Structure 1
């Protein structure tokens, strides 16, 4: 009996030692550093490219990066008591030191593809665009370099992330990690291929699935359709007041999704933020007012092609 107790005590001591070592490593070791590989990218500043970039940036990026000065100067993204800790979205105006003014085009492209900033730090898992076409990625960079009111240099300096123990663990133990650099050219489907184009817009450009699938933790950013609860909603998201909003089911379920909506209902909802029952959508939902009818129709066509998901995770009313 004494021998068994002694062995048990040794095992417990070893386990406690391992746990303590991991906790100390997670809490005090520096964040991982990664190699920065500027990507070759051709950026055009013609009006068509800049307008396309504006459409993407003002619809996707501005939601989280809108600062107190109405520019892309950043704001609190996650409160200190949240699971990840206190996180602020970055200043991505053209300020030379506080923003992205010093970034080369290739460094910006590398960051948007992999999540690695020019200092070699991984800033994901959000703001990753591994499947966006090279042309649209270049358009985003063109707009970020423009003299638009929201991209002009802002001298707002936001606090550095203050991660919780859980947040540190996710980064240092490799749960949150950079994506690989694409090995080939990425092209968007032709707009005439409505279904494929709608999927591309909903997953690779505007990333609708990220909020409208089960959770950020189970999303598959490389193959979005492998995400748990793909477009079925149920993801708890904080709005601008840090109140929890449950994302809606966007599948064609008539009872729990948007199966009873018309195309015009859908257009009004994503452009104006008004449901068919006249209720307003949460401010956490971007307004897609800059999208053309062709783009909205393509997204609608793709969502209509999905299998209806019946669990009442978040009914779209």
Structure 2
């Protein structure tokens, strides 16, 4: 018996030692670097692309990169997901050193798709637009190259992000957070006459499913619909003043979701933060005011196809 206990303790000691070595390695290594591909791409800045790019930038980039003080895409402190670290969105103005002024169109396309910068640095928490159409990617690039005040060169330098051990583990193991493969075939613009398919496209671009599913750590980046509690809400985030806030159930359950909402009520909630009952929506939920009514309506039609989940989410005062 004593001999068996000694063997068990010896085995446990080895396991603990290996875990400690692995943890130390991951902590010191940080976020692993990737091999960045150089994409041969030159985007023509047509009026249509500039207009679409401005809309997409306001929907997809502004919530993280638009600093209310500088009124530019100089980045800011992101406090809504502290479990992933002390996060600062980067300066993406046209500044040649602190921004993206020296980047090629191919560099921008590769980053937007994969999350990998030209030097191989991986941005684990940046949204990867892997399902966005080529035309939408080109529109964003055209806007970032434009003369819009948001992207005018600015020398604001953000502090370095300090990723948590959780983020380092997830990126070093490839669990949940990893670079996305660059597309090998063209991605066409979605058919806007198919309301459900178009709604899914818009939902994926806005990353609605990430916040409104059960848990960031139980998401399925490859097949969002397989995420735990897909659109059932219950994910705990932080408001700008550091208070907990729980995401809403967006399935069509009539008691605990939005099954009793009308299309118009949903549009007002998404675009302006106005809800049928109680106070308006609060940050970190953005107000997608530049989303067209048709785009918001398509998301509502898609949500009607999502399986209902009974999950009563208590609103935090």
User: With structure 2 as the length reference, what TM-score do the two structures score?
Assistant: 0.91
Query: In the TM superposition, what are the counterparts of 1:125-164 in structure 2 within 5 Å?
Result: 125-164=125-164
- Change in Cα spacing, 1:61 to 1:243, as seen in structure 2 (3 Å) is farther
Contact 1:233 1:314 in 2 (8 A): no
Partner of 2:211: 211
Q: Secondary structure at the match of 1:87?
A: strand
For this pair of structures, how many residues does the alignment match?
313
Map Cα deviations across residues 110-152 of structure 1 (whole Å, 9 max, x no partner): 1111111111011024311111111111111111111212111
- Change in Cα spacing, 1:97 to 1:3, as seen in structure 2 (3 Å) is same
Name the CA distance, whole Å, in 1 between partners of 2:266 and 2:23: 48
Partner of 1:72: 73
Contact 2:30 2:168 in 1 (8 A): no
Unpaired runs of at least 5, structure 2: none
Q: Secondary structure at the match of 2:82?
A: coil
Contact 1:41 1:138 in 2 (8 A): no
| Bigger mean CA offset, 1-10 vs 221-230 | 1-10
Contact 1:65 1:91 in 2 (8 A): yes
Q: Secondary structure at the match of 2:217?
A: coil
Q: CA deviation at 1:201?
A: 0.7
Name the CA distance, whole Å, in 2 between partners of 1:91 and 1:191: 33
Q: Secondary structure at the match of 1:237?
A: strand
Contact 1:249 1:314 in 2 (8 A): no
Contact 1:60 1:286 in 2 (8 A): no
- Change in Cα spacing, 1:9 to 1:226, as seen in structure 2 (3 Å) is closer
Map Cα deviations across residues 253-309 of structure 1 (whole Å, 9 max, x no partner): 111111111111111111211111262111322222212222122122112232222
Contact 1:78 1:84 in 2 (8 A): no
Partner of 1:50: 50
Name the CA distance, whole Å, in 1 between partners of 2:59 and 2:100: 19
Q: CA deviation at 1:41?
A: 4.2
Contact 2:133 2:190 in 1 (8 A): no
Map Cα deviations across residues 184-204 of structure 1 (whole Å, 9 max, x no partner): 11113211112211111111x
**Is 1:196 aligned to residue 197 of structure 2?**
yes
Q: CA deviation at 1:164?
A: 2.8
Q: CA deviation at 1:242?
A: 3.0
User: With structure 1 as the length reference, what TM-score do the two structures score?
Assistant: 0.91
Query: In the TM superposition, what are the counterparts of 1:156-195 in structure 2 within 5 Å?
Result: 156-175=156-175, 176-195=177-196
Map Cα deviations across residues 164-221 of structure 1 (whole Å, 9 max, x no partner): 3333222223332211121211113211112211111111x22211211112222222
Q: Secondary structure at the match of 2:218?
A: coil
Partner of 1:225: 225
Contact 1:87 1:163 in 2 (8 A): yes
Partner of 1:108: 108
Q: Secondary structure at the match of 1:217?
A: helix
Q: Secondary structure at the match of 2:86?
A: strand
Q: CA deviation at 1:42?
A: 5.1
Q: Secondary structure at the match of 2:83?
A: coil
Q: CA deviation at 1:154?
A: 1.8
Q: CA deviation at 1:50?
A: 1.1
Q: CA deviation at 1:52?
A: 0.9
- Change in Cα spacing, 1:209 to 1:30, as seen in structure 2 (3 Å) is closer
Q: Secondary structure at the match of 2:202?
A: helix
